[in-house]
Amino acid sequence: MKFGSFPVDDAVGIILAHTFRASGLVLKKGHNISQDDALALRAAGVTEVIGARLDVNDIAEDDAAARIARRLLGPNLTASAARTGRCNIVSACDGVVEINATALTAANLISETVTIATLADKQAVKAGQIVATVKIIPFAAAADVVKRVEETLGVAALKLAPFTLKRFAIISTTTPDLKASVIASTEDITRQRVAALGGSVIGVARTSHTAADVAGEVQKAVSQDAEIVLVIGASATVDRGDAVPAGIVTAGGVIDHFGMPVDPGNLLVLAHVGAIPVLVLPGCARSPKLNGVDWMMQRLAASIPVTPKDIMAMGVGGLLVDTPSRPLPRASAVESAKAGAPRVAAIVLAAGQSRRMGPSNKLLMEIEGVPLVRRTVSALTAAQVSQVIVVTGHQEPEVRKALVGLNVVMIHNPRYAEGLSTSLKAGIDALAPDTTAAVVGLGDMPGVTAEHVNRLIAGFSPDGDRAIGVPVHNGKRGNPVLWDKRFFEDMRGVAGDVGARHLIGANESLVYEVEFGDTAVLTDLDTPEQWSDYLSKS
């Protein structure tokens, strides 16, 4: 191919390098100049054009791109029509793309005129998604280059393993301190993961967090023809001999691999019972965000075998998120230490519609002549906090009136009817920029005092991995919860009528519990029965 400036008189057959606009004449880049074009250019006063003339052994860009794309095509992939030297490879169904990275890299090294770009190997894709693109950089590629690229790629350097209609069984283990709402939320998120893979859930079981009980449920799932078994542990697996892996072995299974170089997802366990894969999900499975669980489920759902070597090869690219909650926990703590004592704020969520209480707004109902919301907020204003933010919504004027005189920042959430998450985000957004952590509480907890909050703050030490403070009574976790600032961005990402509880399960290594001898941290007043019971005991 010859590229350069050509006299108009010798321009017929030239591929125009740049769009030409003059005297009403428009010829676009890549246009092949005809005899009529040359006459029009001459009439417009043009003496030279810049472009390329192909040699006899050159293959035009579209033809070259199409040939190389055809060599890439494997099962369940299609090629678009080549245009301007580009041809896209598109998925014909949902699945996981498999890429011969060695062949592709070798092909890209042959000549700068041919480029092939693809998604990452083993990435999940949707039907109609572009998996790869072939681009010829100039206006043509030499025939010998195209031939060498084709030979290097071999046959079907790209494949798409489709998701099949796998049958999943979900097993949740339970402990006395794990709330049923947390278990239910995780099961719902897991169902969503299964549905995204085109699978079906044939059963959801709950059992005690013991090896014997886990073994029984795993055996039952296998007997019910589950094709993949997912076990959600009440606590993180810390060893192959821990309760859940031990239960799988008791059920006749084998532990293939413990752990993975993917974060979040480090503590995943891969096992099998007969031919049935069993995954023990790490705590990050409580969050809907992408983590190592997704990678493993995607491959299994596409019937791609996963070996320990495959898992250990996931490290490059295995750091999946770059938010303050994941990297070096001590980094933010060092910054806080340099800045002096931590500045811990309080957020009170007081926007709910109080539907379970009937016609009354529980926050405005009185205890010893004091509205419930004022009683709760007053306790927090007396604690060692830098500011108190109250998020209002339902009956905002009445709630605001009940708090007159208290040193608080009032934030109205107009989207309160969409769920608790909207109030949480409103509270986080209202925090002072220098806030180190926030204690998030509910407006209907009459027994919580400044002492409860102060003890949570006293235990806060993110440099010692004490970044989420959870109050506990007799093994049961309650409210309010203290959150280090690294979690604020994740908290902004929650949706619906839920809070940030799933982040506790996903970050158990950063949780510290503060035991209280009273039930205040477990007591909120949602129903008339709870209200009457509280008054009768107070």
Look at the block and give the residue holding tokens 């950089």.
137
Domains, the chain: 2-53 (3.90.105.10), 58-162 (3.90.1170), 167-312 (3.40.980.10), 329-532 (3.90.550.10)
What's residue 322's pLDDT? 46
SS (H, E, C) 72-133: HCCCCEEECCCECCEEEEEECCCEEEEECHHHHHHHHCCCCCEEEEECCCCCEECCCCEEEE
Query: What is the maximum span of the chain, computed from C-alpha positions, in angstroms?
Result: 103
What's residue 341's pLDDT? 65
Q: What is the DSSP letter of 163?
A: -
Kindly write down the DSSP assignment for every residue of 206-246, as one continuous string: EEESSHHHHHHHHHHHHHTT-SEEEEE-SS---STTSHHHH
Q: What is the pLDDT tens value at each position of the chain, 538 positions in all? A: 788 788 888 888 878 888 888 777 888 888 888 888 888 888 888 888 887 787 888 999 999 999 999 999 999 999 999 998 999 999 999 999 999 999 999 999 999 999 999 999 999 999 999 999 999 998 889 999 999 999 999 988 999 999 999 999 999 999 987 878 789 888 999 999 999 999 999 999 999 999 999 999 999 999 999 999 999 999 889 999 999 999 999 999 999 999 999 988 999 999 999 999 999 999 888 877 788 999 999 999 999 999 999 999 999 999 875 444 444 444 444 444 444 568 999 999 999 888 888 888 999 999 889 999 999 999 999 999 999 999 999 999 999 999 999 999 999 999 998 888 899 999 999 999 989 999 999 999 999 999 999 999 998 988 767 899 999 998 889 999 999 999 998 888 887 766 787 888 778 778 899 999 999 999 888 888 888 888 887 7
What's residue 23's pLDDT? 73
Residue ranges with strand state E in 311-387: 344-350, 366-367, 370-371
Q: Considering only CA atoms, which of 479, 484, 462 is closest in space to residue 344?
A: 484
What's residue 245's pLDDT? 97
What's residue 33's pLDDT? 85
How far, in Å, CA of 385 to CA of 345, rounded?
5
Please compute Rg for the chain using Cα positions: 31
What's residue 119's pLDDT? 96
What's residue 461's pLDDT? 86
* β 200-208/167-174 pair status: parallel
Q: Which two tokens stand for residue 189?
A: 């998120």
- Structural contact between residues 453 and 359, judged by C-beta atoms closer than 8 angstroms: no
How far, in Å, CA of 201 to CA of 301, rounded?
13
- Structural contact between residues 458 and 391, judged by C-beta atoms closer than 8 angstroms: no
Q: Which two tokens stand for residue 370?
A: 């004091």
What's residue 340's pLDDT? 54
